[in-house]
Amino acid sequence: MITFISCRTDMKLDNKTLLVDSTLIFNKGYKDFGTNLILNTEGTFNYEDYHYSDYVQKGEPSGWITEIRGRYRTDSNKLFLIPENLLHKELFDFKVVVIDSSKYIDCDSLRIDTDFTIVKWSGNIYLLSMSKSQDLRFRVNNDFEKFADNYNSGSEPRWNGNYFALRQSKIRHEKLDKNQIPTKYRDYFLDSVISVVVINVINDFAYDSLFNSSISEFEMKGGENIGIKEGMTFYGMDGCCIIKTMKVEKDKSYGLIELCPNQQVACKIGDTLTTWNIRDNGKYVP
């Protein structure tokens, strides 16, 4: 497991510059993989993508690190990375060894996000990208959609590995300044919890060849009239009853279970689901 540690816990950052008097380490990831984005004081950056293998030979872990180096610049609340060099590192006997280095080439396997919006909330600093990518639940969306989902469910500001963040050990409970969020996504960040009730289950809506199972569509009472947006996630008390909305009408919405495709019965007619994940995060406290 990779542990990420910031160089300082009292860092200062305004929305005009990231050129501070201490290196800042932003990170994202989970368990055996993760990524560091290190912003250095002289305006350079290191982008370190870690891949650790579960296979251990003679008590020695294996893995590799892809590191991209370059320069960065800022403009108001924006951060721009300018990649220049690429290094490939291997892990041998608990030591990191540089295997190869070259000039950075923008290709699919090496492409990284280079444009970020800086968002500050509850003592944390987030770097959010508009680029679509896969999150830890294998959904494809951008960082603002991921952040909104975690904000609404209650997993933020404590932890989430789906986007770059520099987190403080002590959380300050404060209201999110939505002016930092692009206008298009501000309505995704809810001021209060939304609840829906499952009113119909459409069996065999689709077939998932990966899991060799049929997928049901769930019809829920509540739609645009109560602020539901396409892509919002609703949580039930069962760990597999997690529905992401696919289509939203005036007073109804439709969605699919995100996980546990072989357990479609996890959500039943009459179940109440909320945007706040009570099961994992406890009772909502405004």
pLDDT in tens, 106-141: 665 678 999 999 999 999 999 999 988 765 555 668
Q: What is the DSSP string of 36-89?
A: EEEE-TTSEEEEEEEEEEEEEETTEEEEEEEEEEEEEEEETTEEEEEEEEEEEE
CA gap 193, 149 in Å, rounded = 12
Number of domains in the chain: 2
Dump pLDDT digits (tens) for 186-243. 999 999 999 999 999 887 666 666 656 667 889 999 999 999 999 999 999 887 889 9
pLDDT of residue 21: 58
Are 47 and 166 members of one domain? yes
Q: What is the dihedral of CA 174, 175, 177, 181, to 10 degrees?
A: 110
Please give the residue range of the domain that contains residue 30.
Answer: 24-187
Are 28 and 142 members of one domain? yes
H helix or E strand, kind and range, residue 161: none
Answer yes or no: pTM beyond 0.75. Answer: yes
Are 76 and 201 members of one domain? no
- Is 11 contained in some domain? no
- The tokens 């180096």 sit on which residue? 69
Are 151 and 219 members of one domain? no
Mean pLDDT of the chain: 81
